[in-house]
Structure 1
């Protein structure tokens, strides 16, 4: 898990739609999130539940579904490179987009900004064709794709507005079909809000009001304006500098991607609350630009290669350099660690690749157990749990924070997921299995009904 939102803002409400129960956070109590994306995930969950027992089937289905959508980035990188520099450039750009560790890591993540990116790049490609004038049908489709990206992530408005101005300029035959496509998508999202919340477009306007005017997002952290540069340095280490040189070289061949990546980072830098995933839409743009820069260096040396075999070796060499860089940086991928300029990491358990996986595995293991009648969380924060998305059973979840809570609530659950030892009086709980410090315990017997203490009641009382 990279951030709790990938479950509780998308998959958890989808689970509630598909199976009737789930943890409800304040965003879905107050109505600041659209139901469109969770609704689509709910359909995927329902169609893929047969793939495995418990939560395994539909979790796999979600991962496969989102990963397939992410392949649009590889296709667009190839097409963009082919338009700019031909087949060699296309292969290099697509290869980088295919093997870059951040694009692989985020591809199955149910973040709106990630999924929005996978529609944003195709929309840009369809509309931006310097060599010829695209048809109205193509521009309308591009507008629809850009509209989906914007509706999923309203913060992309400066990026998409700049793209429209850059592409359309004074050509009304461009503006009309693209705006029609964007408007059509927004009408669909607004209509869904009208049926699922109080009024049309509620999730858009209320989200802006709550986070920007009321400042709710600041409760989750405030960072300085340069935080995203620090994030990139943490992620790319010293390779940030040669990569940015390649990006600058590539920007000369495709200025629009350079400007759009810049405006995404700049516009998000103006917001107080910053998370690396917010600027994810800029990452594949930077990778394509770096690919264009790499290809230009290779092509400039082509007269010296003389033969097709040597040209192939040059392209293969660039691919190997990018692959080794991706593997090296992936081994140290941890944005929460202090900034350092190492090249390799020696402990994958300290990276995002395995973060919180022990909690998810514990929850998923219980989804296979038919005897669960209640679950206690001892030392495990609910936001770092798998929720009902991974537990699947329609049983109460009780957050247990103190020994006194354990005494009051233990009759309400027969399983405990804990990352610290259980209180001494409760030795009737038997250890079942552990995953790197997170363990599942079981006691014999049934569960009592304990009202007004389950996770949804606790969250509602605390406003979380």
Structure 2
């Protein structure tokens, strides 16, 4: 028994190390932007807290975002800046921190699989969560919905498992995790309300009270932070709902039909959606709460006009854990036909190889903004999300170590896809250069420019420094003259962006 216990935990430890390597390796090898919010709703305000400068978007001028996550990330940035020059050090630190948080999903998959089907199912569930391409891709990203998922799943597990430790303590801790998830992403309220009813039933005294107190504890902390950082307690909750749902501000960033999330899943998983869903349905019989919660998250977000794939991220590990339970059940059913252990080992290895090859295949075509197609493999990795705006980020990170930068121009690069001061890190003005006429006005404001297009022919005083494909850095000699009304924050404030 002792040998088996140690072997099980050794395997889990190996999976966790592999997961961390994959997540960090992906983030460092392929810097990219899936959606601008991962920079400007979390990392950029964190950089402003930690180092004093950053691009301020309308959300942080109007007070509809909480400072809790940016505050935590700011602390991580300050503590890890020593790990590399310029922006490199704290970006590595943030990636490590977010990747470590994401390991909670692997632990939940393992212990839940263990409860349902023993060590075999536990290892299969944890393995799937370790190697699945979307978890590797999104885990190091500072999206609130992604970070919220890392607390949501442990909260659900603690809520439904009755034999862990004292009921009230367990439910209070479960409530705390659910409360953190809700505070990070208020849109999960329907799913968390369902989880609360599912877990507690009619037992008001022993279950409802500790869970509600647990949920309220982190929400009160977030509300108190709002009171000190904005005008009112809980301002980032109610004002966010008012601005986006009542005033319809979110519609400015795109409106999609109600079924868009199902199209997103088809774009991401292709025809392999069918076997994944079948396996998840098999697993649903054993853990129905995960299936219902995944469906509620998808449907509740389908009611909102503005849709982004990341909004339903918590549904993905729920579906994949269910698919892992289904896979484990089929493997165990197959292996019971033979008395020797070899067929069972072969069945386990084959299932892991199939899941690994599926993940690699889907990663090679991962682009939910491409037209819907049902191919298995992609033909051009550079057309996937792995390379989205990568050249911009590499260019700005390169400039973060240049001491003689006195101003930066962005030519044919939208500020929202630039990486901001999170990658640039220099305490100098940034200017958006949209037209050739802007050069005449702004040329004196910067001595470096990052461009996706060749510079206008009349500006021969710039020399080409370095290129990443078509994204190039140009430098001119001389100093800079600050043009306050055209500096990026002034422009955003005047335009309301």
1:34 aligns with 2:36: no
Residue 310 of structure 1 deviates from its aligned partner by 2.2
Matched, 1:262 2:276: no
* 1:139-178 equivalence runs, <5 A: 139-172=171-204, 173-178=206-211
Q: 2: CA distance between counterparts of 1:134 and 1:168?
A: 15
SS at match of 1:440: strand
Q: 1:47-446 maps to which residues of 2 (within 5 A)?
A: 47-129=79-161, 135-172=167-204, 173-446=206-479
**Contact kept? 1:127, 1:134, Cα under 8 Å:** no
Please report how far the alpha carbon of residue 449 of structure 1 lies from its aligned counterpart in structure 2 after TM superposition. 1.9
The superposition leaves residues 61-104 of structure 1 with CA deviations (integer Å, 9 ceiling, x where unpaired) of 00010001001111100011111111111111111111100011
1:187: how far off? Answer: 0.7
Distance in 2 (alpha carbons) for counterparts of 1:293 and 1:437:
46
- Give secondary structure in 1 for the equivalent of 2:485: coil
Q: Distance in 1 between matches of 2:41 and 2:85?
A: 24
How many residues align structurally?
A: 464
- The Cα shift of 1:437 comes to 1.0
Structure 1 residue 25: Cα displacement: 0.1
Residue 119 of structure 1 and its aligned partner are, at CA, apart by 0.4
Work out the CA distance in 2 between the residues paired with 1:367 and 1:305. 61
Could you say what the CA RMSD is over the residues aligned between the two structures, in angstroms? 0.9
Structure 1 unaligned regions, length at least 5: none
What's the CA shift string for 1:11-67, capped at 9, x where partnerless? 000000000010000000000000000000000000000000000000010001000
| CA distance in structure 1 between the aligned counterparts of 2:126 and 2:410, rounded to whole angstroms | 44
Displacement of 1:132:
7.2
Aligned to 2:76: 44
Q: Distance in 2 between matches of 1:365 and 1:152?
A: 32
How far apart are the structure 2 equivalents of 1:42 and 1:54? Answer: 15
Rounded Cα–Cα distance in structure 1 between residues aligned with 2:260 and 2:85: 42
Aligned CA distance change for structure 1 residues 82 and 451 (closer, same or farther; 3 Å): same
Structure 2 gap ranges (5+): 1-32
Deviation at 1:134, TM superposition (A): 5.0
Shift of residue 451, structure 1, vs aligned partner: 2.1
Cα drift, residue 135 of structure 1? 2.1
Whole-angstrom distance in 2 between the partners of 1:305 and 1:449: 78
- 3-state SS of 1:376 partner: strand
Give me the whole-angstrom Cα distance separating, in 2, the residues matched to 1:75 and 1:131: 17
CA contact (8 A) 2:397 2:423 kept: yes
| Residue of structure 1 in register with 2:12 after alignment | none
More off after superposition, 204-213 vs 85-94: 85-94
Cα displacement (A) at 1:133 = 7.7
Matched residue of 1:3: which SS?
Answer: coil
Deviation at 1:130, TM superposition (A): 5.4
Does the Cα contact within 8 Å between 2:158 and 2:170 map onto a contact in 1? yes
The structural deviation recorded for 1:346 is 1.6
Structure 2: distance between partners of 1:425 and 1:61:
43
1:347-399 CA distances to partner (integer Å, 9 max, x unpaired)? 11100011111000000000011110000010000000010000001100000
